[in-house]
Structure 1
Amino acid sequence: MYGFIWRHLPGPRAVKALLAVLLLVAVFFLLMEVVYPWVSTLMPYNDVAV
């Protein structure tokens, strides 16, 4: 998977590294802002029975 992404990024090694870091940051923020809040609404945190 990572090799596939690395081969398809344009430019020399330094540009590829910068683009890979930017891609990782974008995925991180997408997860934090969209995916995790949506999943947290589905989790039964308040349904505690002891």
Structure 2
Amino acid sequence: MYPWIWRHLPGGAGLKAVQALVLVLAVCALLLFVVFPWVEPRLPFNDVTVGS
């Protein structure tokens, strides 16, 4: 998959490296600000089964 992305980015190696870095940062931002906050309330981490 990564070679496919690399082949389809325009420009030389330096420009492709910058574009790949921007893509990685965009995916990380999407995960941190959209996906993880949406998933967090649906996870069972707050369902404690050990009582006092």
Q: Does 1:29 align with 2:29?
A: yes
TM-score, normalisation: structure 1: 0.94
SS of 1:45's partner is helix
Show CA shifts across 1:18-50 (max 9, x none).
Answer: 000000000000000000011101012221011
Q: Distance in 1 between matches of 2:15 and 2:46?
A: 47
Structure 1: which 4+ aligned runs deviate by more than 4 Å?
none
The size of the alignment, in residue pairs, is 50
Give 1 or 2 for the bigger CA radius of gyration.
2
Q: Distance in 1 between matches of 2:39 and 2:29?
A: 15
Q: Does 1:13 align with 2:13?
A: yes
Q: Distance in 2 between matches of 1:25 and 1:18?
A: 11
- Identity value in percent: 54
Q: Distance in 2 between matches of 1:33 and 1:16?
A: 25
